[in-house]
Amino acid sequence: MKTRISATLVLLCLLSPAAWARTLVIAQDATWPPMEFVNEKKEIIGFDTDYMKAVAKEAGFQIAFKNVAWDGIFAGLAAGKYDAVCSSVTITDERKKGMDFSLPYFKVRQALVVPKTSQAKTLEEMTGKTLGGQIGTTGYFAIKKVAGLNGKSYDEIGLAMEDLYNGRIDGVVCDDPVAAQYALQKKEYAAKLKIAAVLETGDEYYGVAVKKGNKAVLDLLNKGIQGVQKKGLDKKLRAQWIGQ
């Protein structure tokens, strides 16, 4: 009986590998449109979400998403609460000390969003002003690097944009696709806000983060990313979610 069951399982796996494919749980802080956010149906959607679905299809694994607040997202990864984090995570030397990263999948820059009445075009011209950024992000790090700026951290970038819109702070620094989403595409915000500058912060790329030493998951992700890039699926998703 044991032999017969084992043979059946092997046959099923050969005939239908998808039925036995591993499911990876991917954490996202879904407050970062158009990269990852929650729609009116309470579903996580966005560029990163669709990108990971394409990666999973190319590499032959199943996928499940988990919405996790940014301030605890990496601690959860280290504790094994999910397999990976795909949430607009910039690859940095500091982060690589505590986690491993997939191949880069998206080049990003930082943008300065200000009221339309502002004449500033650089961070240095905002000396003495209060700038908001999401805590623990490269946008907030950029603010803290410039002497004379007052940095205000937020749990979500939308809260920073809301304060800027209502005149409670003087500017926001965040990833350029997110800046464009708020300053150019949200009708009420576009009437009052603008992107003053795209900042030179060096080569900055997003990667999918995995627990340090988790080579099995890393290899799966890299296989999928290579497939997505080879087929040009990433360009189609960029056009869909971000435009030019």
Going by C-alpha positions, the residue among 104, 21, 80 that lies closest to residue 213 is: 80
Which pLDDT score is estimated for 197? 92
Contact 176, 107 (CB under 8 A): no
Tell me the whole-structure pTM to 2 decimals.
Answer: 0.80
For the chain, the 3-state helix, strand and coil shares in percent, each to the nearest 5, are 45, 25, 35
Q: Could you state, in order of their start, the residue ranges of all structural domains in the chain? A: 2-107+205-241, 110-199
Instruction: Please give the Cα distance from 224 to 219 (Å, whole number).
Output: 9
Which pLDDT score is estimated for 5? 42
Give the CATH superfamily of 110-199: Periplasmic binding protein-like II (3.40.190.10)
Which pLDDT score is estimated for 21? 63
Whether the domain at 2-107+205-241 and the domain at 110-199 fall into the same CATH topology: yes
Contact 83, 25 (CB under 8 A): yes
Domain 2-107+205-241: top CATH class: alpha beta
Which pLDDT score is estimated for 114? 97
Instruction: Please give the Cα distance from 129 to 24 (Å, whole number).
Output: 43
Which pLDDT score is estimated for 244? 60
Mean pLDDT, consecutive 10-residue stretches, the chain (244 aa), reads 41 41 92 93 96 98 96 97 97 96 95 96 95 94 94 95 97 93 85 91 90 97 98 95 80
